[in-house]
Structure 1
Amino acid sequence: MTVRPWMFAVAVCFVGVMSIGYLGATTYLVLRDNLIGATMARQARMQHEYEDRIAALRAQVDRVTSRQLLDQQVVEEKVEKLMEQQMALALRHGKIDALLDATNPAAKTPDEGPVPLVRPDTADQEASAPNASKSAFASLLGKPAEKPAPERLALGYAPITEGNVADRADRLFSHMTLSLKDIEREQMERITRLTLGASETASEISSILRRNGIHVDEQSDAVGGPYVAPSSALDFNASMNELDAALLRLEAMRDTARKLPFANPAPGQAITSRFGNRPDPFFGGLAMHAGLDFRAPTGTPILSTGAGTVITAGYSGGYGILVEIDHGHGLVTRYGHLSKAKVKKGDAITTGDLIGLSGSTGRSTGPHLHYEVRRNGDAIDPLQFINAGKKLERLVH
């Protein structure tokens, strides 16, 4: 066979094409395997990253859940504590009102009402009932964190996260605690004012009584025991004890002042003759006048100037018809020249009781009331007691 040049060229071209195709196919297969391996490796890495991220998110969710449970428990404890403080303040206010009502209902001022458990300016922000408080705080701490919108961030809104929820709860607790502290301070100030006012009034009454020769026994109960440092938890009880003692002392002073002869025996009647030396209406020379004379037409009601027991009721020499009352503390009052006695010996008399009618019996020149006050048998100026009664009137009512 004769090989022509063109045949040789065709054979060479065929061999070259086959070689190029083989090399191309081999290169493709090798590159494809590398590409598939790289892709699988990248997918494996991405899968591991997602798995790690999911595990981290789960751990974060567990931490947030645990933190919320712990915060909820802390919140419930704080709410219980706040409610205990509210109940304690309510009981304290009840004790104050009960003490004032039992001792002196007039001691309460009209504008003093019950102390609110929640301040008025925060009533819309704070829950007053335990269930409301717990639900409010639970909803506050249990609210999931939400992703803020771009427009909210642009307006300055902060995202609700675990940190700022706790801060809001702490601020709310602090605000409620301060409100309760303010109410507690107001109660203590009220107790202090009442104690001081009662002590000052009792001291003023005691001073007036002493100036008139009446000494009231104010001995305190015997106390003793080992020294123990004061406790702040007992400050309220100690203040209540002081207030109780001050009110009891004040009431004792008022009771004493009400029973003693400080009133006017003939209200609205003029005094015609005072206590001391004066010309005797029968003999003309000086004579001691042991009381006050009130101008009182016959039949004028004569009233007891204090509480006591009648020791004389009838005719008694120059006094004419006389009523004599023993008021204790060595004090005795006499009402002379009566036209008629309205009481009898042994009767118990209170201040302002009708004891007789004025007249002109005994050593008298005309209808009038002769009124005496005697201490331990000695005559003293009744006007001193009447003037003291005017000062006591605003203190004993």
Structure 2
Amino acid sequence: MSARTQGRVFGKRREPHIIIVAQGDNIRHVTVRPWMVALGVSFLGMMAIGYLGATTYLVLRDNLIGASMARQARMQHDYEDRIAALRAQVDRVTSRQLLDQQVVEEKVEKLLEQQMALSSRHGKLDTLVDRAEENGLVPEAAPLPTVKPGDGSQRATLSGGIGAIDRLLGKDSAEAEATPDNLTLAYVPLRQTAADRADRLFSTVTRSLKDIERSQLDRLQQLTIGATVVADEIDSILRKTGVRVDVASSAIADQQAIGGPYLDPQSPTDFDNSLDELDAALTRLEAMRSTAKRLPFANPAPGKPITSRFGNRIDPFFGRLAMHAGIDFSATTGSDVKSTGAGVVITASRSGGYGNMVEIDHGDGITTRFGHLSRILVKVGDEVAAGDLIGLAGSTGRSTGPHIHYEVRRHGDAVDPMHFLNAGMKLTSLVD
């Protein structure tokens, strides 16, 4: 061990450094402690580090500021791009919703048009069905539209937005209003589902309306066939009696006063054609029945026996062959004599061998005569219907006893009344 080391260890201590400052007569001394040295060194180190940091900042400031601005610009651009993408997506969704709404509105308009057409057809059909029922043709009931045209609850409008479509498609309005705005993008799958539901709804309603239309067409066809069959039967019976019914003339005669500006005709549909066919068939049937009810097909003395028929017979006064222009019915004096058809009285007076006679014009050149009456109960110009009382049976004129002399004449020529009586029995079930 050296002497220096031994001196430190065994009692020699090192004297601290003393700084003596003399200023004039004043002398000061400062003892320099180790911690003071450490503090000074630390201070100097901190100053050196600060200086170096400040110098580095001043040198690199522009680069740091540029990098920070570039980073902020990139962040802003990214944000703006994201906002633009979201807006574009929202626009696409909104456009798709508006397109779906437009499609649904078009379909609803078509449904409403079909419903309005069915309703207007129903009005026309009601008139024809009433006529058919009046003529004894009872059709099966056909379904009718249950939704009234113009029902606001069934119409989707632009002012209603998506909510109108949701209500149309059956979605609960409270549920629709409760959907948050921030779930707009997630609504796309629901709109697709709603469009599918709209397609199914439209298809279902369209099929239902077509079924109704088909049912109405079937009913029209059945009524037309029924009216045609009955009219053909009546026409066949009338033709056998020599009566031909001109349906066109009858329709013109019964037509009421009409008018209006001329417009181009609309293209007829199957339903319109069916309506026209049924209308023509009913018009023909009504003309046939009107003619059958007007002409003398009834019996002037129901239940009374025939004592002399139409044709040649032995004259009761001269005893030789003579023409009998009518039919004689046995009757007691004062028995009712009734008109056999509708018409106008053209003779109501005493007429030669007929005695008291009533002659009725039934139209179409057909007249009837009732002779040998004990009393006449009508006068010339009176309108009578089938079954009306026109006189009382008797034996006036060229007669051997009380009876009813009945004639049917066509254009002045006598025809056998039995043809009309037989036809009347066949027409009973067709005309009543």
Regarding TM over 0.5, the answer is yes
Query: Hey, what does 2:103 align to over in structure 1?
Result: 74
Residue 208 of structure 2 is aligned to residue 179 of structure 1: yes
Distance 1:352 1:108 in 2: 22
What's the CA shift string for 1:217-269, capped at 9, x where partnerless? 34589xxxxxxxx9876333333333333322322222222221111112232
3-state SS of 1:325 partner:
strand
Note the 1:180-219 alignment, pairs <5 A: 180-218=209-247
Query: Which one has a bigger Cα radius of gyration?
Result: 2
Which residue in 1 is equivalent to 2:413? 378
- The equivalent of 1:313 in structure 2 is 348
Question: How is 1:337-356 mapped onto 2 (pairs within 5 angstroms)?
Answer: 337-356=372-391
Amino acid at match of 2:213: E
The equivalences for 1:212-361 within 5 A come to: 212-218=241-247, 234-361=269-396
> What CA distance in whole angstroms lies between the structure 1 residues aligned with 2:314 and 2:324?
9
Q: Distance in 1 between matches of 2:213 and 2:266?
A: 16
| Structure 2 counterparts to residues 141-156 of structure 1, below 5 A | none
Q: Is the 8 A contact 2:342 2:362 kept in 1?
A: yes
Between the aligned partners of 1:196 and 1:247, the Cα distance in structure 2 is 10
Please state how far the C-alpha of 1:284 moved relative to its aligned partner.
Answer: 4.8
Q: 1:36-51, aligned counterparts within 5 Å?
A: none
Counterpart selection for 1:389 from 415, 424, 428: 424
Q: Alpha-carbon deviations, 1:140-181, whole Å to 9, x = none?
A: 48777xxxxxxxxxxxxxxx7444332222111100001011
Q: Distance in 1 between matches of 2:166 and 2:149?
A: 12
How many residues are matched?
330
Q: Deviation of residue 132 (structure 1)?
A: 4.0
In 1, Cα distance between equivalents of 2:137 and 2:166: 41
Q: Which amino acid aligns with 2:276?
A: N
1:288 match: secondary structure: strand
Separation in 1, partners of 2:190, 2:341: 77
Q: In the alignment, which residue of structure 1 is the partner of 2:153?
A: 131
Q: Counterpart amino acid of 2:217?
A: M
What is the Cα deviation at residue 115 of structure 1? 4.1
Amino acid at match of 2:153: N
CA distance in 2, matches of 1:107, 1:376: 30
Offset of 1:283 from its aligned partner?
4.9
Instruction: Give the alignment's Cα RMSD to 1 decimal.
Output: 3.9
Distance change in 2, residues 1:107/1:83 (3 Å):
farther
Cα gap change, 1:280 to 1:127, in 2 (>3 Å): closer
Offset of residue 273 of structure 1: 2.6
Q: Give me the whole-angstrom Cα distance separating, in 2, the residues matched to 1:192 and 1:340.
A: 52
Alignment CA distance shift 1:329-1:109 (3 Å): closer
Q: 1:303 Cα deviation (Å)?
A: 1.0
Q: Which amino acid is the alignment partner of residue 116 of structure 1?
A: L
Q: Distance in 1 between matches of 2:381 and 2:140?
A: 45
- Unaligned 5+ residue runs, structure 1? 5-47, 145-159, 222-229
Conservation of the 8 A alpha-carbon contact between 1:93 and 1:115: no
Q: Secondary structure at the match of 2:145?
A: coil
**TM-score scaled by length of structure 1:** 0.69
Residue 91 (str. 1) matches residue 120 (str. 2): yes
Q: 1:272 to 1:108 in 2, by over 3 A?
A: closer
Q: Does 1:117 align with 2:145?
A: yes
Is the partner of 2:387 in helix, strand or coil?
A: coil
TM-score, normalised to structure 2's length?
A: 0.64
Cα distance in 2 between the residues matched to 1:266 and 1:66: 86
Task: Provide structure 2 residue ranges, at least 5 long, that are not aligned to the other structure.
Answer: 6-76, 157-162, 177-188, 252-264
Q: Is the 8 A contact 2:355 2:372 kept in 1?
A: yes
**The residue matched to 1:202 in structure 2 has which SS?**
helix
- Shift in Å at residue 377 of structure 1? 2.9
Q: List per-residue Cα deviations over 1:78-124 (Å, max 9, x = no partner).
A: 112211211110111101213454x5651486675674214xxxx9x
Deviation readout 1:195-223 (Å, 9 max, x if unpaired): 333333333322222211122334589xx
SS at match of 2:428: helix
- Report the CA distance shift for 1:107/1:322 in structure 2 as closer, same or farther (over 3 A): closer
Preserved CA contact (<8 Å) 1:83 1:130: no
Could you tell me how far 1:285 is from its partner in structure 2? 4.7
Cα 1:232–1:192 shift into 2, 3 Å: farther
Native 8 Å contact 1:100 1:108 kept in 2 = no
Stretch of structure 1 that moved more, 272-281 or 303-312: 272-281
Identity of aligned residues (%): 63
Structure 2 counterpart of 1:215, one-letter code: R
In the TM superposition, what is the alpha-carbon distance from 1:298 to its structure 2 partner? 1.4
- Indicate the larger mover: 311-320 or 70-79: 311-320
Q: Contact (CA 8 Å) 2:115, 2:149: kept in 1 or not?
A: no
CA contact (8 A) 1:80 1:130 kept: no
**What is the CA–CA distance in structure 2 between the aligned matches of 1:347 and 1:64, rounded to whole Å?**
83
**Cα deviation code 1:364-394 (max 9, x no counterpart):** 2322111111223332211110111122233
